[in-house]
Structure 1
């Protein structure tokens, strides 16, 4: 099935989380399946058909706030990113009937809400944005006590295959004194001077440092699960999945 709904223990009943896979859909060639990205070179008609099918799986009349993701830390109101996708890597809303969406094909999608289900947010947490503080910006934008926030980590590149150069490790541990974050990088067995990075682990630690401890994860690797997920690292030219969060009342 192309669209799946996550069942998250301890989350407010009025908040719903959806994520897509590449299964089914109208896209062909390297985008085969349920591609939702208009910016990757796929036929626009196929992408729009896929987006229409996604909308059919959401509560009636839900509007989707897509973003023009730029690997930064900018946060926008979801209502400002419906008619035209705003350049941003996180969006939030307190309105029902608006789905905050993030597109991924290896980068980590992080969905946030508060325990009362009054506000929701979607975050694009690639390594650049994560190192720069996109989660800090998103948590701040929710304007609720951090201990009241629930977070969900969606499908992303796994720690066994996310090989990075020393500059990526340096970007995270700069000013950290090597404590904490450096533990999420281990020497690559494939390339001297490179590392295998735990992107989801880094995000979880960043959230904990912000006071967010209610963190759950899909625990799915986009690179390894070839038939289920798109992966830019694995395929280069490929499609995009989406993760969405909304208030249903």
Structure 2
């Protein structure tokens, strides 16, 4: 998981912004991605994320599809790094047993409620011949439960009536709730059968010196940088 540190970008994008479509200097992003790739044990594959549920197999079959549209990816090939970009949404990394496969998913509330984690876990299990209980999942930094204020549309996305009590939604002012994104992800993973789940304890909004945050930075700067989480199978 990258942080803000270690890159060459300036201003709101300082310093290791990995997002190529946020308004940063393109040459700075190229250098930042080069540094990120050099730090990994595999070749990173970046996606065009759209808050959907598509789980793409890597390496990409079509070499002309340089930036494929998907919100999750998986691989059984050593040396290929599954990468998810975030700036408040939750990155989730998966590992099958014995290094047989890995996967990564982009879980904002829309993708999470639509089933992106289940789709990713299912694809990885089918590809590696394992069950959900054998998977390991790691939750990265995201907007935390003290900062993620949402409206009734988010509750509706999870089939929760506004007046119904729910452990992941704390009522605030009229028509507003504080949502626990990482907690919701844990619930979805557990319901699917994943038992070994770690992480999800860092807040991108509150840890401003460490993480980019779109919700925190957009009001002042119009946008925010992007971090990335990656997982890969080491080459033998």
- The structure with the largest strand share of the pair is 1
Picking from 101, 104, 111, the partner of 1:122 is: 104
Taking only aligned residues, the RMSD between alpha carbons, in angstroms, comes to 1.6
How does 1:120-199 map onto structure 2 within 5 Å? 120-142=102-124, 143=126, 144-173=130-159, 182-188=166-172, 191-199=173-181
Residues 187-245 of structure 1: per-residue CA shift (max 9 Å, x gap): 12xx3220000000000000000000100005110000001000001011110000000
Distance in 2 (alpha carbons) for counterparts of 1:58 and 1:161: 31
Q: TM-score, normalised by structure 1?
A: 0.86
CA-to-aligned-CA distance 1:145-167 (integer Å, 9 cap, x gap): 11110000001000011000011
Give the aligned partner of residue 211 of structure 1.
Answer: 193
* Structure 2 unaligned spans of 5+: none
Aligned partner of 2:73 in structure 1 is 91
Aligned to 2:4: 22
- Ranges in structure 1 where 5+ consecutive residues have no aligned partner: 1-18
Match of 2:44 among 61, 64, 78: 64
CA distance in 2, matches of 1:233, 1:69: 17
State the TM-score, normalizing by the size of structure 2: 0.91
Cα pair 2:182 2:200 within 8 Å, conserved: no
| Structure 2 SS opposite 1:156 | coil
Partner Cα distance (1:115, 1:159) in 2: 31
User: Would you identify which runs of 4 or more consecutive aligned residues in structure 1 move more than 4 Å?
Assistant: none
How many residue pairs were aligned? 223
